[in-house]
Structure 1
Amino acid sequence: MAVIRGKSSLCLAALLSVSIILACPAMAELGNQTGQVTVFWGRHKDEGSLREACDSGMYTGVIMSFLNVHGHGRYHLDLSGHELAGIGDDVKHCQSVGVPVSLSIRGNYSLPSNQSGESALDLSDHIWNAYLAGFRKGMRRPFGDAKLDGVDLFLERGTPAKNYGVLARELAKRNMGGGNRKPIQLTATLPCSFTNNPIDGDVPITRGIYERIHVRFFDNDGHADCNAYSEEVWDSWTAAYPSSRIFLGLPASPEAAKEGYLYPKSLYYGVLPAVQKAANYGGVMLWDRYYDERSNYSSYVKRWA
C-alpha cells in the first residue's frame, strides 16, 4: 500500500476505504505519530503463520503468546495449535525484514521469593537459555537457534503478580552483559487499572526497566473506567512511567473483546489526537492478529499511529 501523505490525500483514502471517515473538512490534528503498531500472535490456529504476519507490512513488532507460568518450575508454551516446526525460521525471517519478535509471559502463579529453588531467578534463567541469547546443555530450545528479540510481561487484574518485578529486573541485568549482543526488549502488557494498584506489595512494573508498556483499554472486568479509553487514565500512565514508551492497547474488532473496541472514526477524531499529545506516546498495540486479519483494522491504525 502506498504511503499516504497530507490531509487531502488521507481524506480521499479514508473515503475510498469503506467510507469510515464521512466528513473531511474538519480533519483531526494528529500530533506525535510514531508509526509503531505491535500485534499479538499465537492465540488462534487460523490466524496464519508468523511469517505472514510480518510480511503483511502492518506491524512494527509481533509478540508471540503465551509462555504460561504454572509455578514449581513448570512452564508451558501455548501457541494455540501452531506447529513449532518452522517457527524458528519464521522468527529469523521477521527479523530480516525489520520486525522484532518477542515472547509474552503470562503469569498465573505467584513466583516464590528469589531465595527459593522455584523462583523468579529460575524463570529468568529458563527464558534466557530456551528463547533468548543464552545456551545451556540439555535445555530444549523450541525455536532452535533463533533468538527472540524480547520478553513481554502479560499480567491481568487479579493475577498473583508477586515477584514478577524480580523477574523483570533479572532479565534487565542480562542486557548489561556486554559484547556484541543486541539488548533484549523488555515490555509489559497490563490492564489500565494497574497503574496505581500494586498487588501483594510487589510492584510488577518497575520504573526505568521497560522499553514499552502496552495499556489495555478493554476487557477489564469490574473497572468501568478501563473498559474503554479514558484520557484521565491514559495521562496517569504516561506521567507515571516517563522513561517508557506507552502504547494504546485496543481490540482489533468488536469480536476480539467484550468491551473497548473503538470504531475507526472515533479512533481518528477523538482518541489518537489525545494520546499523541504525550511526549512518551509510543504507538498502538492490537489484540490480536486473528481478528485484525479479518477486520483489517490495522490498515487504519498503521496510517494514523
Structure 2
Amino acid sequence: MATNLKWAPVLALLLVAAMVGSTSAGNIAVYWGQNGNEGTLADTCNSGLYAYVILAFLTTFGNGQTPVLNLAGHCDPGSGGCTGLSSDIQTCQSQGIKVLLSIGGATGSYGLSSTDDANSVADYLWNSYLGAALQTGQFDNVWIQFYNNPGCAYANGDDTNLVNAWSTWTSSVTAGSFYLGLPASTQAAGSGYIEPGTLTGTVLPAIKGVGKYGGIMVWNRFYDVQNNYSAQVKDSV
C-alpha cells in the first residue's frame, strides 16, 4: 500500500496555492474555522505559531451550485456576517502569515461536472478570494492527511507506514514542499495522533531525511489550543 498511489483519493490530498519563499526550517500550518470556541482568525495569527492559516471550508461548489463558505460558529457568509474577516486577514498578512482557503471538507456538496463547471468555480475562487495576489505565485505546497488513514498513519509506536507513504508522495508528486498533516490531539481525529516528543525525536528526523519537507499541518486550531501541540513542537519543526 505504501509503494504506490492507489490510496491517493483516500488520503484527501490538499493542494493549496501559495507564494512561498525559501527557508531552512519547517513551518506550521493550521486549520481554522470549524469551531466557534477556537478564537478569532486574528488571535490565531497573533499566537506566533503559524506560517499558514487555512480557512475551513468552502463546502458547497460545482454542479451549478452557488458556492458556500462554512465557518461553523464564527460567522454566516449568507447574511454578510463574515465581512469582518477582512481585517483579520490583513492582520495575518501584515505578519507575513499566508491565509489560504480549503475547498471541500469531510462533508458538503461539491463536485465538478464538466470543464465549464470547473472554470466557473475557478472564476468564483479567483474573484472572491484571490484577485491579483497570485499573478506571480506558484502552486508549491502539498498538505497530506496522515490521520484517519490507517494505511499511512503512525500507530502503536510504529512509523514505518508513515515514512513509506511520505517517500511515495515525495517521489511521485511534483511539488516544492510537502507537509505532514496531523491531529493536534487524540480528540481531533480517530487515528494518527503522535505525541509531541515522538514527533520531534523520531518521526520528523525520519521524514526530513527523505527530502522536500516543508513542515507540519495541524488539525485544528481549537484542539491545538487545548493541547498546546504546536507550541510544544515549534522549535523542532
TM-score (normalizing by structure 2): 0.78
Partner of 1:139: none
TM-score (normalizing by structure 1): 0.61
Identity of aligned residues (%): 38
Indicate the larger mover: 292-301 or 237-246.
237-246
> 1:33, CA displacement in angstroms?
5.8
AA aligned to 2:210 is A
Q: Retained in 2: the 8 A contact 1:58–1:299?
A: yes
Q: Taking CA–CA contacts closer than 8 Å with sequence separation of 6 or more, which of the two structures ends up with the larger relative contact order? A: 2
Residue 202 (structure 2) aligned to one of 270, 285, 289: 270
Q: Retained in 2: the 8 A contact 1:69–1:109?
A: yes
1:241 counterpart = 2:173: yes
Give the secondary-structure state (helix, strand or coil) at the position aligned to 1:46: coil
d(CA) in 2 for partners of 1:244, 1:69: 29
d(CA) in 1 for partners of 2:46, 2:201: 29
> 1:284, CA displacement in angstroms?
0.5
Counterparts of residues 51-200 of structure 1 (less than 5 Å): 51-70=42-61, 71-83=63-75, 84-106=82-104, 108-114=109-115, 116=116, 119-133=117-131, 175=134, 177=135, 183=137
Select the structure of larger CA radius of gyration: 1
5+ residue gaps, structure 2: 1-22, 76-81
d(CA) in 2 for partners of 1:268, 1:106: 30
Residue 191 (structure 2) aligned to one of 252, 259, 265: 259
> 1:242, CA displacement in angstroms?
4.3
Paired residue total: 199
Residue 147 (structure 2) aligned to one of 218, 222, 234: 218
d(CA) in 2 for partners of 1:302, 1:267: 11
Give the secondary-structure state (helix, strand or coil) at the position aligned to 2:187: helix
AA aligned to 2:71 is L
Give the secondary-structure state (helix, strand or coil) at the position aligned to 1:45: coil
4+ runs deviating over 2 angstroms: 107-110, 226-229, 241-244
Give the secondary-structure state (helix, strand or coil) at the position aligned to 1:254: coil
> 1:279, CA displacement in angstroms?
2.5
AA aligned to 1:120 is A
Q: Retained in 2: the 8 A contact 1:40–1:288?
A: yes
Partner of 2:19: none
AA aligned to 2:114 is S
Give the secondary-structure state (helix, strand or coil) at the position aligned to 2:34: coil
> 1:250, CA displacement in angstroms?
0.4
Give the secondary-structure state (helix, strand or coil) at the position aligned to 1:81: coil
